[in-house]
Amino acid sequence: MKSPTLSKALVIIFGCSLLTTILIQYKNVNATIKKISKKETEITQLLSYHSTKIKQKTSTSLLFNLLEKNYNGKIIQDNITPNKRHLIIQTAPEDKPLITVINELKKHYLPINNIAIDLLNQTIELTLPIRK
Amino acid sequence: MIFKNKYIYIFPNKITYDNKTLPVSIFELLNLQIKSTELFNDISNKTVIIILENSLKTHHESLLALFSKKAITIQKIMLQNNQTLYTRPKNYRQLSIALTCIALIGISISLHYSHHKATQALKYSSKTKQLIQGCILRLTNFENPIFQSTLTILESLNKSSLLIEKIILKPHHAIKLIGYSYQKPHYFLQSNNALSIKQLTQSNYGNYYEITYSF
């Protein structure tokens, strides 16, 4: 036969063990949530970086800036039709041959219909699709 | 009622409980401990309802004191004519302990489930991070294949005497090189089946050629 003191002790032990378990579980959940939060921040930063990188790689203006800066490029013809944009860029590279422009262009994601590099006249002819 | 109470019938010269009769008078019960040992052993740690014979009404307080001394809870003391002499005040301690335990177990289960879900979410987050890192790496090292192919062709042409004048790139279709050479670059044609060479002029002092690489 259990005495009342033993019953009380059992209830207290059971309650305490239950509370300890809950505290440990709460601590674990909290730690995991913190980890998730950290991961989410990292993912957001990476996505932002990825998005910036894609914008850089697909930006027409950035490509023109690069041609202007590195090859003294100037747009001498710019025809825009509903579907495409036709450009002729006159270059005058001072210290490097125009052929090296391929090395610059290969890093770009820019959608190009046609590209013609005239090494004799130092021009770059580009036909770009127009995004609607 | 969660727990069943034990009924004790007390008469002036006997005590009845659980179909058992003890030949102990009320005076012996109250005054002689030896006589009541069997009774208290049988009902120890239980809740009891005492039913007194009507003539023993005046003894109910003594009985209450005696049972309390033996740590036996008296739920009710009543007379045979159903008159209630004592009712134990309601105590919700056990119920509240039980409810608290159930609530704690519920919280524990909920936390376990949350932890499981959070761990899964963490795994997915790690996978997503790896995926994005892979995308960034590919994007950083990206080299447009048409320009890469052009560079390869140009490197091969370094050995030839072809002077390239124009490079025309049509993505997904062809790469065209127009150049001037004193000799037809046949050896170059042999090295790659996807290449074709077209002579554009007819002269004894060198001609223009169009080299086409078709995809």
Which of A2, A13, A20, A25 to mutate against chain B (most B CBs within 10 Å)? A25
Measured between beta carbons, the chain B residues lying within 8 angstroms of A15 are 97, 100-101, 104
Arithmetic mean of pLDDT over chain A:
88
- What does the alpha-carbon distance between residue A128 and residue A84 come to, in Å, rounded to a whole number? 6
Least confident piece of the model among A20-29, B112-121, B173-182: B173-182
Q: What is the average pLDDT across A43-60?
A: 91
Q: Helices (DSSP H) in chain A: which residue ranges? A: 4-58, 60-71, 101-105
Name which of B101, B121, B129 is nearest A42 (Cβ-Cβ).
B129
Spatial CB neighbours of B76, under 8 Å, sequence gap ≥ 6: B5, B49, B50, B84, B86, B87, B88
Q: Which two tokens stand for residue B137?
A: 């790496």
Residue B169, chain A, CB below 8 Å: the answer is yes
Sorted by where each begins, the domain ranges of chain A are 1-58, 60-129
Question: Is it the case that residue B191 has pLDDT exceeding 70?
Answer: no
Fold of B145-214: Gyrase A; domain 2 (3.30.1360)
Measured between beta carbons, the chain A residues lying within 8 angstroms of B144 are 105-109
CB contact under 8 A, B167 and A36: no
CB contact under 8 A, A22 and B107: yes
CB contact under 8 A, A43 and B128: yes
- Find out whether A68 and A74 touch, Cβ atoms under 8 Å: yes
Residues B100-114 pLDDT 10s: 999 999 999 999 999
CB contact under 8 A, A53 and B144: no
CB contact under 8 A, B139 and A25: no
Q: What is the average pLDDT across A83-102?
A: 85
ipTM value for the complex: 0.79
Give the CA angle between residues B151, B155, B157 to the nearest 5°.
115
CB contact under 8 A, A39 and B129: yes
pLDDT at residue number B112: 95
Task: Give percent above pLDDT 90 in chain B.
Answer: 26
Name which of A2, A18, A115 is nearest B45 (Cβ-Cβ).
A2
Q: What is the average pLDDT across A106-115?
A: 86
Question: Is it the case that residue B2 has pLDDT exceeding 60?
Answer: no
CB contact under 8 A, B139 and A14: no
Torsion of CA B63, B86, B12, B26, to 10 degrees: 0
pLDDT band at B197 (very low <50, low <70, confident <90, very high): confident
Kindly indicate whether the domain formed by A60-129 is annotated with CATH number 3.30.780. yes
pLDDT band at B30 (very low <50, low <70, confident <90, very high): confident
Residue B71, phi-psi category: left (phi > 0), alpha (psi -120 to 50), beta (remainder): left
- What does the alpha-carbon distance between residue B105 and residue A21 come to, in Å, rounded to a whole number? 10
